[in-house]
Amino acid sequence: MTHPATSELHENYLFFQRSVAKFVNEHRGQYALLHAQSVIAFFDKPIEAALAGASQFPDGKYSVQKVTDRPADLGFMAYGAGDRNPD
């Protein structure tokens, strides 16, 4: 059984992935505080978003995502299976 907080984080992430294109022009490089599949606010620093989330949602059901149109660089872990040649 999935923990409710884990499910909330997953749903926030899916919402953000579907919606990020709407935020990029105005909020590129900022951090979105997410709760209940909606953006609560944007912040310039991730710690600001995390502190706001902790104070507004003490149950921990919030997440923070960076607004960018570039995929996350997972470095070495991106090649965790299969062909190790990135080309």
User: Which pLDDT belongs to residue 72?
Assistant: 57
Tell me the pTM. 0.75
**Using a CB cutoff of 8 Å and minimum separation of 24, what contacts does 67-73 make?**
67/20, 67/23, 67/24, 67/27, 67/28, 67/29, 67/30, 67/31, 67/32, 67/42, 68/20, 68/24, 68/28, 68/29, 69/20, 69/21, 69/24, 69/28
pLDDT digits (tens, 9 = 90+) for 3-30: 666 788 899 999 999 999 999 999 999 9
Q: What is the pLDDT of residues 20-72, one digit of tens each?
A: 999 999 999 999 999 999 999 999 999 999 999 999 999 999 999 999 987 65
CA 56, distance to chain mean position in Å, is 17
The pLDDT, as a whole number, for residue 7 is 84
The pLDDT of residue 55: 97
The identity of residue 63, as a single letter, is S
Quick one: tokens of 84? 């190790």
